Structure 1
Amino acid sequence: MTKKEIAEVKKLAQKKYRYEQGLFVAEGLKAIREIIDAGFQVEILYATCPNEIPAKKTSIISEVEMERISFLQKPTSYLALIRIPNSTNNYQTEGSQLTIILDDVQDPGNLGTIIRLADWFGIQTIVCSINTADCFNPKVVQATMGAIARVKIIYTNLHKLLKEAKQHNIPIFGTFMSGENIYTAKLPRNGIIVMGNEGSGISKEIEYLITHKITIPSFKAENVESLNVAIATAICCSEFKRRIF
């Protein structure tokens, strides 16, 4: 690979460049195959050995070159540049499903884990604020372990969306340090779960649109920090989904 080719791949760490080129990075055979199976188009595949992965172009490179273009501490044998799909960013607020909404979640690892959780719990859609981390960030894609191919991710104005949802009488649950105990609360099959920013939680402009404030109680008396947003999302999804049984 030339220095220019290596630089072009590494630039995809930047959101601006990803959308200018319409490409994102996926690494690892399993993740790449799952993304392809979901209908995504591989623009170019870099591999350290021959393979049968369908791509417009395949380039066999050395392990040293793979280390130079990889975003992982321990690179795999495969790295693909994948075309970002066209998105309508439309979300129908009919309340016929359980939806996760993320209010300015910043950490790529947290977002990737939440996407993976949504896939596990059969939640088809995640709606993000404009300032939430980009789902095509290499760290996010890697953390999803292929789930990004199966969960629809929408970026939109949350205030407008939640206001409309409230007008349609869709239950909107928000996680707070104080609220109704999630383990004893009546939770519906369908509705919206809002998860807030890692440091400041749910913003004030979104808080007043919440129809049900819930909390995950601590079993320690004092001096307890709030839960990591991905862990809190896992607990919420589990509680909502287990009521089905």
Structure 2
Amino acid sequence: MFLVEGIKTVQELLHSSFEPHKVYTTDGAIITSDRVKTELISEADLRKISSLKNPNTVLGIFKFPDKKPVDDLEWILALDDIRDPGNLGTIIRLCDWFGIRHLVCSNNTVDCYNPKVLQATMGSITRVNMVYTDLVEFIRAYQGPVYGTFMGGEPVHAIKLPPKGILVVGNEANGISNEIAGLVDQRIGIPQFGSGHTESLNVATATAIFLHEIRRIVK
């Protein structure tokens, strides 16, 4: 099981297929659900069990969802060693926004049930299939084009993207690993128009641009 904090995220999970175990709240009028027992607790007790500096009224305990297969007939986003919880949470929200239903992560990518990740998803984790696996083996077995995001890659807006494929995004500091880079069919990038002093884009910001380009071309 895992912990979720915050009114919006707990409500999102209660309205999803995730199975709740228990909800604790300092305000009994906020959470009303016949799916779970809600226990009223004091603010002092919530602070004791919360991982947040300033707890947000509600803390829920949910069971891990059953694993689901990845549909390889549509676009898949693959993450190679993303370590920052905020980045992963934002990327999950981006997948939800752009209709990317399957997010495949390397085994050393930060846990999607990390409290900071869950908080950053704002409930979007309920609508994105999260899969942790050996990313090298997954890509090798995939039947379709694989695009890797690189500094200096071919400008993404100049490419005719197909109806399906894998988009690989790499580690915040080191980018895509050499082993996975060797499996990429085409290297793509985001052209820089500024002074050139900025070294790179934040990985979540870059992912937003790539996913927008995919959806601009592939509805």
Aligned to 1:77: 57
Which residue identity lines up with residue 75 of structure 1 in the other structure?
P
Alignment correspondent of 1:18: none
TM-score (norm 1): 0.84
1:47-196 alignment, distance < 5 Å: 47-51=25-29, 52-87=32-67, 90-92=69-71, 94=72, 96-165=73-142, 168=143, 170-196=144-170
2:207 is the alignment partner of 1:207:
no
Count residues in correspondence: 217
The question of whether the paired residues in 2 share the 8 Å contact of 1:175 and 1:195 is answered with yes
After TM superposition, give the deviation of residue 53 of structure 1 in Å. Answer: 2.8
The CA RMSD measured in Å over matched residues stands at 1.5
The one-letter code matched in structure 1 to 2:115 is P
Q: Percent identity at matched positions? A: 45
SS in 2 for 1:193: strand
Aligned partner of residue 158 in structure 2, secondary structure: coil
Matched residue, 1:33: 11
- 1:155, distance to aligned residue in structure 2 (A): 0.5
Q: Is the 8 A contact 1:46 1:78 kept in 2?
A: yes
Q: TM-score, normalised by structure 2?
A: 0.93
Query: What secondary structure does 1:183 align onto?
Result: helix
Contact 1:98 1:190 in 2 (8 A): yes
C-alpha distance in structure 2 between counterparts of 1:39 and 1:234, whole Å: 27
Tell me the distance in 1 between the aligned counterparts of 2:167 and 2:53.
34
The CA distance in 1 between the partners of 2:99 and 2:179, in whole Å, is 29
CA displacement 1:123-167 (0-9 Å, x = unmatched):
1000000000000000001100000111000001111111112xx
Deviation at 1:56, TM superposition (A): 4.1
Task: State the Cα distance separating 1:76 from its structure 2 match.
Answer: 1.5
Distance 1:73 1:55 in 2: 28
Q: Is the 8 A contact 1:173 1:193 kept in 2?
A: yes
- 2:86 is aligned with what amino acid? G
Gaps of 5+ in 2: none
Partner of 1:16: none
Q: State how far apart, in whole Å, the 1-side matches of 2:79 and 2:34 are.
A: 34
Structure 2 distance, partners of 1:150, 1:29, is 18
Deviation at 1:183, TM superposition (A): 1.7
How far off its partner does 1:71 sit? Answer: 2.4
Q: Structure 1, residues 73-97: CA drift from partner, whole Å, max 9, x if none?
A: 3322111011112325x435x4x11
Which sits farther off after the overlay, 119-128 or 46-55?
A: 46-55
Partner of 1:15: none
Question: Deviating runs (4+, > 6 A) in structure 1?
Answer: none
Gaps of 5+ in 1: 1-22
